[in-house]
Amino acid sequence: MHHDHSNHPHHSDPGYVGHADHEQQLESNLPNPAPHQHEGHGQHGGHDRHAGHSPEMFKRRFFICLVLTLPILYFSPLFQEWFRYQAIDLQGSNWITPILATVIYFYGGWAFLKGAWYELRGKIGMMTLIALAITVAFVYSLAVTFGLPGDPFYWELATLVDVMLLGHWIEMASVQGASRALEHLADLVPAISHRLTNGRIEDVSVSTLTEHDRILIRPGEQIPIDGEITEGASSVNEAFLTGESRPVTKQMGDEVVGGAVNGEGALTVQVTRTGDKTTLSQIMRLVEEAQSSRSRYQALADQLAYWLTLIAIGVSTLTFVVWLAANSGLTFAINRAVTVLVITCPHALGLAIPLVIVNATAMSAKNGILVRSREAFERARDIKAIAFDKTGTLTEGRFGVQHMDTDGINELDALTISASLESLSEHPLGQAIVGEAEHRQIHLVQASEFKAIPGRGVEGTVNAQRYRVGRPEWAEELNLTFPSALRKGLQEIESRGESAIVLLNDQQVLAVIGLADQIRERAREAIQRLHEMNIETVMITGDAEAVAKTVAAELGIDRYYARVLPQDKATLVRRLKAEKPTAFVGDGINDAPALFEADLGIAIGAGTNVAIESADLVLVKNDPLDATYALQLAKATYNKMIQNLFWSTGYNVIGIPLAAGIAYPFGILLSPAVGALFMSISTVIVSINAMLLRRVKLSH
């Protein structure tokens, strides 16, 4: 099965990889997020123009070229005129500038020249434009030094190379920052663990642990692997997984995750998942996939760079020809042509998308949202309807006491007696009654002569009285009195689709207890928030009509579908999707086909096992409110990307004509230096605008 996003343009993007064949194509299709890539890639998507480069290389070259630029600026006649000073006249000082400029051109500009060489074999873009601008400036300046009449462009060439190196250093560092997240995740797991063998503790390598091994985790230690607590209780910090720094209380039977930090208690843990199956390994794989996945807007930025390059070359050539024809002299004509090339350099365009993506991914991870596919994250802004699976998503997936009606006994006593008997039973409804008593801090009484009657319930003696707790039908079978008030209460409970349990003594029914799958507190808030965002809410459940109707009414859901079989969920999502772009929120295990089918698959309730191949986003914290957060963040991210594309290219509308000399008759002329300044300012604006994404107020 595959996403059928007919209304989304991304399938034409060669970088898009469908879910099903994602793994196989990762290596062949997409750039490797590793810092040092192999030289010689001929691809042109994303950051492949940096093949073989690293942020350190750009940083080193930037600082060396900056130092070499200072003497060039000092000896520049224009700077001497501007700042009214006289440069010292050393023997051969007129050769200092050309020699330093040659070093800057070859040393600082090499990355761009090499990038342009790769681009010329495929699709021209940013590197071609930069290489062209610096080469024209360098060759012309050298010609002037050797006797051609005119003014050289040495200082413009040097500052342009500096600005470009700085920008590419920032760009690569920002992209590599995401890769560093992987290294940090890998560092979370200690290398050694304390294995318990026949009562002895031995320190062994984590890689040698197998399922069912028992390990000891001392207070304050990092948990090395996924497992289940068999002994002990403690509080555990799972911030790396959920973004939530508050420690989570863990006791016997609870699951712990490799990478979390143990608090004050010692724990004995039985290993449940090893190697690639551990939560941390899966998160690392998801992060890696997200980094490698193509961004639709990055493809748009590359397309813009391509057109800008063509426009720059076209306008530059035209400018040169027109000014030469107007007898303005060769120097003036070349000066104008180079200025057009310099100002059109879409450098900010290189930063426009990566910086936004880095910030968006960081904000997602901080809030427990794992983005599996950037392209899908971008698609989230179009969502107009969101469908939720009921059990485990909108509800807790466990029963709780909703109502109690009593006759001839008070509510507290009825609950005490019922819970005291049910505490000896394993039945989930019984456990829900015990849970309610614990919640109300009721002290349970020791029951004697306890007996479980299959298909009926439990019976026993509490406070020297015989009681039964079980199905309502049991009362009929025993011919006990069923007070009319309680019978009415029972009908109400059944009409709401809740499960009923009755408390009986030897004469009559004493209490009727209504139990239902408990609604998540955050689900109510999530639905309200989605309505504020004008997104239609839908609930899909396999439960009966009465249950679905009650939950939908309580949460304020727009429409619901009851008695939907798991295999029919995907068909239903396809139908909803035909009406408007639809997201589906499910638990990722039995909802895989529906998650696949939706325009945006959001897996929730992944708990600690995030092996979810079918979802686009994974909500680690089991919180339906995070689904609304993800949609808000996607919208904010989209806005920032569009703003950045505008800021990084918009200035050219004014800049190119001015650089070409259109306003020269009015005495306005844009020099290459001012062109480089314009370009630098747009780069700074784009960077700051991307950082502002972190200030987006997400109602959380």
Active site residues: 389
What is the Rg, in whole angstroms, of the alpha carbon atoms belonging to the chain? 34
Q: Which of 204, 215, 269, 193 is closest to 608 using CA atoms?
A: 269
DSSP class of residue 302 equals H
Residue 472 vs residues 114, 491, 501, 625: alpha-carbon distances, Å: 81, 11, 6, 37
Asked if 552 contacts 569 with a C-beta cutoff of 8 angstroms, the reply is no
Asked if 700 contacts 529 with a C-beta cutoff of 8 angstroms, the reply is no
Q: Is 40 exposed, middle or buried (0-12, 13-18, 19+ CB in 10 A)?
A: exposed
Which tokens is 139 given? 């060759």
Question: How far is Cα 370 from Cα 373, in angstroms, rounded to an integer?
Answer: 9
Q: Is 531 exposed, middle or buried (0-12, 13-18, 19+ CB in 10 A)?
A: middle
DSSP bridge pairs for 448: 461
Q: What letters, b where the CB count within 10 A reaches 16 and e where it falls short, cover 115-125?
A: bbebbeeeebb
Question: How far is Cα 334 from Cα 337, in angstroms, rounded to an integer?
Answer: 5
Neighbouring CB atoms inside 10 A of 351's CB total 24
User: What residues contact residue 45 under an 8 Å CB cut-off, 6+ apart?
Assistant: 14, 15, 30, 31, 294, 298, 299, 302
Question: How far is Cα 247 from Cα 106, in angstroms, rounded to an integer?
Answer: 55
Residue 43 vs residues 39, 121, 342, 435: alpha-carbon distances, Å: 11, 10, 25, 60
Q: Interhelix angle for 55-75 vs 110-120, to 10°?
A: 120
Question: How far is Cα 181 from Cα 159, in angstroms, rounded to an integer?
Answer: 33
User: Rounded to 5 degrees, what are φ and ψ at 280?
Assistant: -60, -45
Asked if 287 contacts 181 with a C-beta cutoff of 8 angstroms, the reply is yes
Which tokens is 129 given? 């434009």
E strand map for 206-317: 214-217, 226-231, 234-237, 248-250, 255-256, 261-262, 267-273
User: Rounded to 5 degrees, what are φ and ψ at 231?
Assistant: -155, 140
**508 in helix, strand or coil?**
strand
User: What residues contact residue 3 under an 8 Å CB cut-off, 6+ apart?
Assistant: 18, 19, 596, 597, 599
Asked if 500 contacts 513 with a C-beta cutoff of 8 angstroms, the reply is yes
Asked if 298 contacts 353 with a C-beta cutoff of 8 angstroms, the reply is yes
Neighbouring CB atoms inside 10 A of 522's CB total 17
